[in-house]
């Protein structure tokens, strides 16, 4: 028990304390995305954190769209966000909620503040408001409209609602303290006039609440106990607390901030991902080189691997970037025992076994995953003509090269030992065909009569299936860093995508359906692309190679 308490993160410790002191009877959390873009790996952290806490404390997890700013929001994003959250396995309680569903209550809350003398309609322009606000070192100046009577404010606010004023002509401000050391408390604007249609409420409203006013109300209405957000809202917490206090909510929610997730040398911000999409540097929000959730899914990451990653990163208050190889580590760990290990040749060159019978096909029984016998076995066709990787043959090998070269014997994985007898070349000197002979005694590849140092994989040239494979590198030029120092643009790696059209894979792989995952021995983990795979002819994306420099920190 003692140890368990120690290993809890700081948010769990706060919740434990609140439960112990009776401030919180039921843990209610929420994920509140603004529908203005696709979700990314950082959001996954927030989703899994909020969902995980609700589950851990037998509470409730709400999914609520923070759609109070109609200028940037779109229904398209609502749909994609819902899908991503579901895919991650974060099951919400109840319906999908929308902040816009509370516009009437927010309006009434504003009226309540006016009645209490805690809010006023101000005629200053946006520029003037900024000027009057002061600076970090100087206090602000009070607006000349600050002391309007409650009656006048009620009337003007109603006029605002009824469309009497143009955009920017009047705003409603909280009456707090123009001399507060916290700039957010210097009579912040809480309602503005904006004659824009909203994606859900249409033209019902021409005034819209500001985030800092709306968010605590949304939380309070839903009975959220712990409103978890990222560090940039720390300075806004006094305002959050002011709103729920002045509106006299009975069990006010508590805001807790944690550090955003950043990945080194990876484009994470919504704004920057959007730029890559708009500049057509990638082919959409789900381009497998991005870290939007849709892109990670298409690349082949699993919800389990993302959860493992988020757990490894942990929840803290201190900002720090994480390395992408840690995410790669998680998907390797997740897939290691789960998926079949298949043979696929990405850079094929023909190997002919001269003493193997013409026209014969043997079926080799192969374990699907040597480390997990539960996955069973399959039959792989073996024929006189095969494809092997071009790099597995060298006419004049350096020392310590144990693969095919004239005179050398190697093991064809799960099949026979073969000895290289030579090769054919085209007029440019490129190797076109490699010749060898096999030893029928060595069938199955487990032959122990003599030793060979090299084992290479292969695919039957006559039974194998030609397939497209895509390999990826970071979209960012890692040597230059993410952002160009001069203009803030992204330093793009021109080699981030390699499309190989003539790979050969075992016939079994032609049956793969979108999102099926495999290890291609020696080449990495791959998934059948979600969008471009067709029945009988999948396209494979490399999720990650097999080698890793990443080591789990031990402590
Ligand atoms: P971005 O910074 O990429 O534009 P955002 O913060 O504007 O994202 P929202 O839709 O407003 O995106 O965020 C929804 C929730 O996700 C918020 O609670 C926010 O704090 C959280 N969130 C956003 N980015 C990250 C991140 N990198 N790490 C953890 N949580 C994040
Ligand atoms: Mg935002």
401 and 382 share a domain? Answer: yes
Q: How far apart are CA 416 and CA 446, in angstroms?
A: 9
Q: How far apart are CA 89 and CA 293, in angstroms?
A: 12
30 and 161 share a domain? Answer: yes
Q: Mutation test of ligand 1: which of 42, 69, 268 has the most ligand atoms closer than 8 Å to its C-beta?
A: 42
247 and 219 share a domain? Answer: yes
299 and 367 share a domain? Answer: no
Tell me the CA–centroid distance for residue 27 and ligand 1, in Å. Answer: 21
Reply yes or no on whether the pLDDT at 3 is more than 60.
no
309 and 429 share a domain? Answer: no
- Print the SS3 string covering 13-56: HHHHHHHHCCCCCCCEEEECCCCCCCCEHHHHHHHHHHHHHHHH
pLDDT at 489: 87
Atom of ligand 1 nearest to the CA of 46: 30
Describe the strand order of the beta sheet including 409-412 as a list of residue ranges.
455-456, 409-412, 417-425, 431-438, 348-353, 385-389, 459-460
Task: Check if the beta carbon of residue 93 is closer than 8 Å to that of residue 60.
Answer: yes
62 and 100 share a domain? Answer: yes
pLDDT at 271: 86
Tell me the CA–centroid distance for residue 488 and ligand 1, in Å. Answer: 21
Distances (CA, A) of 342 to 50, 229, 261, 447, 517: 38, 44, 35, 21, 10
**Mean pLDDT across 521-546:** 97
116 and 198 share a domain? Answer: yes
Ligand nearest to the CA of 39: 1
418 and 447 share a domain? Answer: yes
pLDDT at 1: 44
Q: Which of 176-185, 311-320, 379-388, 453-462 has the lowest mean pLDDT?
A: 311-320
Residue 11 lies in domain: 2-258
Q: Is the CB of 274 under 6 A from ligand 1?
A: no
Contacts of 106 (CB under 8 A, 6+ apart): 209, 213, 214, 217
Last residue of a domain, one of 417, 451, 485: 451
CATH number of domain containing 282: 2.40.240.10
Atom of ligand 1 nearest to the CA of 40: 3
97 and 244 share a domain? Answer: yes
State what percent of residues in the chain have pLDDT above 70: 98
Reply yes or no on whether the pLDDT at 14 is more than 60.
yes
Last residue of a domain, one of 207, 242, 258: 258
426 and 470 share a domain? Answer: no
**Mean pLDDT across 116-136:** 97
CATH number of domain containing 218: 3.40.50.620
Going by DSSP bridges, is the β-strand pair 207-209/189-193 parallel, antiparallel, or unpaired? antiparallel
Alpha helices in 133-181 (DSSP H): 150-161
Distances (CA, A) of 199 to 70, 206, 221, 409: 7, 13, 22, 68
- Total domains, the chain: 3
Q: How far apart are CA 222 and CA 282, in angstroms?
A: 39
Q: Is the CB of 299 under 6 A from ligand 1?
A: no
Q: Mutation test of ligand 1: which of 72, 212, 230 has the most ligand atoms closer than 8 Å to its C-beta?
A: 230
pLDDT at 553: 66
Reply yes or no on whether the pLDDT at 134 is more than 90.
yes
Reply yes or no on whether the pLDDT at 212 is more than 80.
yes
Reply yes or no on whether the pLDDT at 433 is more than 50.
yes
14 and 136 share a domain? Answer: yes
319 and 405 share a domain? Answer: no
Task: Check if the beta carbon of residue 391 is closer than 8 Å to that of residue 398.
Answer: no
Q: Which residue has better confidence, 553 or 551?
A: 551
Last residue of a domain, one of 398, 419, 451: 451
pLDDT tens across 352-395, in order? 999 999 999 999 999 999 999 999 999 999 999 999 999 999 99
pLDDT tens across 269-320, in order? 888 898 899 999 999 999 999 999 999 999 999 999 999 999 999 999 988 8
CA-based nearest residue to 288, from 460, 530, 31: 530
């Amino acid at each position: 028990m003692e140890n368990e308490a120690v290993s809890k993160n700081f948010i769990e410790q706060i919740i434990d304390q609140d439960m112990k002191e009776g401030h919180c009877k039921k843990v209610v959390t929420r994920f509140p995305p603004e529908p203005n873009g696709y979700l990314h790996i950082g959001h996954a952290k927030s989703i899994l954190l909020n969902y995980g806490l609700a589950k851990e404390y037998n509470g409730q997890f709400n999914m609520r769209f923070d759609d109070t700013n109609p200028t940037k929001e779109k229904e398209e994003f609502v749909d994609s966000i819902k899908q991503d959250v579901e895919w991650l396995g974060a099951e919400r309680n109840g319906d999908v909620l929308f902040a816009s569903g509370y516009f009437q209550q927010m309006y009434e809350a504003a009226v309540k503040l006016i009645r209490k003398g805690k809010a006023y309609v101000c005629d200053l322009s946006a520029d003037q408001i900024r000027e009057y606000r002061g600076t970090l070192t100087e206090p602000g100046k009070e607006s000349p409209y600050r002391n309007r009577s409650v009656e006048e404010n009620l009337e003007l606010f109603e006029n605002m609602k009824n469309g009497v004023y143009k955009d920017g002509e009047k705003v409603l401000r909280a009456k707090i303290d123009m001399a507060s050391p916290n700039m957010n408390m210097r009579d912040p604007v809480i309602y503005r006039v904006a004659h824009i249609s909203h994606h859900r409420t249409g033209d019902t409203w021409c005034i819209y609440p500001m985030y800092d006013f709306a968010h605590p109300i949304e939380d309070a209405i839903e009975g959220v106990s712990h409103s978890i957000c990222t560090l940039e809202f720390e300075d806004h917490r006094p305002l959050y607390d002011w709103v729920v206090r002045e509106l006299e909510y009975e069990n006010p929610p508590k805001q807790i901030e944690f550090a955003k997730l950043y990945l080194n040398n990876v484009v994470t911000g919504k704004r920057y991902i959007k730029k890559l999409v708009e500049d057509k540097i990638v082919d959409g929000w789900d381009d497998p080189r991005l870290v939007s959730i849709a892109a990670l899914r298409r690349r082949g990451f699993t919800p389990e691997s993302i959860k493992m990653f988020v757990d490894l990163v942990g929840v803290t208050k201190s900002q720090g970037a994480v390395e992408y190889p840690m995410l790669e580590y998680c998907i390797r760990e997740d897939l290691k025992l789960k998926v079949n290990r298949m043979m696929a040749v990405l850079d094929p060159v023909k190997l002919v076994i001269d003493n193997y019978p013409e026209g014969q096909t043997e079926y080799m029984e192969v374990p699907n995953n040597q480390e997990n016998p539960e996955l069973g076995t399959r039959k792989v066709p073996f024929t006189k003509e095969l494809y092997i990787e071009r790099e597995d043959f060298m006419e004049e090998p350096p020392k310590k090269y144990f693969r095919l070269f004239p005179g050398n014997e190697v093991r064809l994985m799960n099949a026979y030992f073969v000895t290289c007898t030579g090769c054919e070349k085209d007029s440019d000197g490129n190797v076109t065909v490699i010749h060898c002979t096999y030893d029928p005694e060595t069938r199955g590849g487990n032959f122990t009569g003599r030793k060979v140092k090299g084992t290479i994989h292969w695919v039957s040239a006559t039974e194998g299936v030609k397939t497209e494979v895509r390999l990826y590198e970071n979209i960012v030029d890692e040597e230059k860093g993410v952002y160009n120092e001069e203009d803030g643009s992204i330093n793009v790696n021109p080699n981030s995508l390699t499309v190989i059209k003539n790979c050969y894979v075992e016939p079994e792989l032609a049956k793969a359906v979108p999102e099926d995952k495999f290890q291609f021995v020696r080449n990495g983990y791959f998934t059948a692309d979600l969008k471009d795979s067709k029945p009988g002819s999948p396209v494979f994306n490399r999720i990650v190679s097999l080698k890793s420099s990443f080591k789990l920190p031990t402590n």
